[in-house]
């Protein structure tokens, strides 16, 4: 996108076309390169135009709306496969939950970004191979490797979606960070749509109950299922056509919760020794500990991604720096706990998966913490924070591929 903006900088018509086809990426990339373009009359015009945020909501072109409606219907039909075919719900949803939405969103961004044919073929092949593989994978509900493959497969599909989102500039760190920011915006928009859906459901069922019609079962089996499947698709379309809807909300949420999470996490670590609980001997506590770790790390990454193209104030940088240090402490405790459990009770697929994940997260946190420290001391620019995250994302992808495809074979599908 950056190269296209620079190439067509003196072509108002082409710039308008780029903007209308993909508003959010255009806005993000233009803001990133504007300091180098300042003084150019057309660039200055676009800078002022993008600073103005209209109250009007754009629903896109008729073709866009048609594709969103069709994608939502397809997502709903996929979600209802167990109702139409002789497939057990537990088998279908445990293995295929990620295929309800991720392939459709991948196709959406491949179309929006005019992805090259060879990239489309590669992404499609990855999705198809994953679909066939996970459904042919032997195992029962007691198979650890099957459970790990099912848990990590959505992450693999998430990475495939990221490749489509970055378009033909997968190596562009700002596009990777843009993908993280998109995920934050998508979570906000999805939460809003879910709240609206819950309110609509309650009102609808209540109104029909007043006239003596009990529609709960029908509503749950059809309206609710299709609606739930459609929410990510609709939320994606809204964030892309109306970036102004949530591009201020996500940073505010991150700015409010970062100091609160820092305080909570510090108090929590102090309280653990007095609680009688420890992750070394309590498996469930270790699982919750790792969930906490991932959640806090995601907050740090989204905070950096949201502000990657802006000047960051010293207070926010210090808060993220301290939060990163505390998160490293949490990670170190979790890592030592899983190593202790391995030394006491041996290697299992679950323990090895947790060990590998904790090691990868620890290295990533160290890199991010180092970048934050250099930013505090003015020895590195803000962009280095984003690079510390964006450059490391493929490492997670490689680990997910190993867990999904190699673990079942290495451990004999146990």
pLDDT at 195: 94
Residue 310 has pLDDT above 60, yes or no: no
pLDDT at 54 over 60: no
% the chain with pLDDT above 90: 38
pLDDT score at 200: 92
- Going 84 to 86 to 87 to 89, the CA torsion angle's sign is positive
Note the residue count of the chain: 414
Instruction: Work out the mean pLDDT of the chain and round it to a whole number.
Output: 85
* DSSP string over 218-244: HIIIIIIHHHHHHHHHHHHHHHHH-GG
How confident is the model over 336-361, as pLDDT tens digits?
A: 999 999 998 889 999 999 999 999 99
Asked if residue 378 has pLDDT above 80, the reply is no
Q: How far is CA 380 from the centre of its chain?
A: 27
Predicted confidence at residue 311, as pLDDT, reads: 56
Are residues 146 and 413 in contact, defined by beta-carbon separation less than 8 angstroms? yes
pLDDT tens string 78-129: 999 998 888 898 899 999 999 999 999 999 999 888 888 999 999 999 999 9
In angstroms, the CA 279 to CA 197 distance is: 38
Instruction: Say yes or no to pLDDT of 205 above 80.
Output: yes
Gyration radius of the chain's alpha carbons: 23
Closest C-alpha to 146, from 129, 161, 134? 134
Q: Which residues of 324-353 are buried (b: 16+ CB within 10 A; e: fewer)?
A: bebbbebbebbbebbeebeeeeeeebbbbb
Q: What is the pLDDT of residues 135-183, one digit of tens each?
A: 998 867 678 999 999 999 999 999 999 999 988 777 778 788 888 888 8
pTM across the whole model: 0.83
Q: Check the CA dihedral 361-363-365-371 and report its sign.
A: negative
């Amino acid at each position: 996108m950056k190269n296209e903006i620079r190439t067509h900088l003196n072509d108002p018509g082409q710039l308008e076309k780029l903007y209308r086809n993909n508003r959010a990426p255009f806005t993000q990339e233009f803001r990133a390169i504007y300091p180098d373009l300042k003084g150019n009359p057309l660039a200055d015009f676009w800078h002022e135009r993008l600073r103005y945020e209209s109250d009007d909501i754009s629903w896109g072109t008729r073709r866009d709306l048609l594709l969103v409606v069709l994608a939502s219907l397809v997502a709903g039909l996929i979600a209802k496969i167990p109702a139409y075919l002789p497939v057990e719900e537990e088998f279908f949803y445990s293995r295929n939950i990620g295929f309800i939405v991720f392939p459709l969103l991948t196709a959406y961004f491949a179309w929006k970004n005019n992805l090259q044919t060879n990239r489309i073929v590669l992404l499609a092949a990855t999705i198809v191979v994953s679909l066939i593989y996970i459904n042919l994978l032997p195992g029962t509900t007691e198979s650890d490797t099957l459970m790990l493959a099912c848990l990590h497969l959505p992450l693999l599909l998430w990475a495939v979606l990221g490749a489509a989102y970055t378009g033909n500039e997968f190596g562009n760190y700002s596009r990777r960070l843009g993908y993280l920011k998109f995920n934050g915006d998508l979570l906000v928009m999805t939460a809003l749509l879910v709240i609206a859906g819950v309110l609509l459901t309650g009102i609808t069922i209540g109104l029909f109950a007043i006239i003596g019609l009990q529609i709960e079962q029908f509503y749950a089996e059809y309206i609710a299922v299709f609606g739930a499947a459609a929410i990510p698709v609709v939320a994606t379309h809204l964030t892309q056509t109306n970036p102004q809807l949530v591009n201020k909300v996500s940073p505010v949420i991150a700015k409010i919760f970062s100091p609160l999470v820092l305080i909570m996490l510090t108090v929590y670590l102090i309280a653990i020794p007095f609680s009688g609980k420890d992750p070394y001997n309590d498996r469930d506590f270790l699982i919750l500990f790792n969930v906490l770790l991932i959640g806090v790390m995601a907050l740090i990454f989204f905070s950096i991604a949201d502000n990657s193209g802006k000047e960051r104030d010293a207070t926010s940088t210090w808060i993220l720096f301290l939060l990163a240090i505390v998160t490293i402490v949490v990670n170190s405790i979790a890592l030592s706990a899983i190593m202790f459990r391995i030394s006491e009770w041996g290697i299992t697929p679950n323990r090895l998966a947790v060990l590998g994940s904790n090691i990868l997260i620890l290295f990533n946190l160290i890199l991010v913490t180092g970048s934050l420290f250099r930013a505090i001391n003015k020895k590195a620019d803000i962009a280095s924070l984003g690079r510390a995250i964006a450059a490391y994302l493929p490492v997670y992808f490689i680990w997910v591929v190993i867990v999904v495809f190699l673990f079942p074979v290495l451990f004999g599908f146990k």
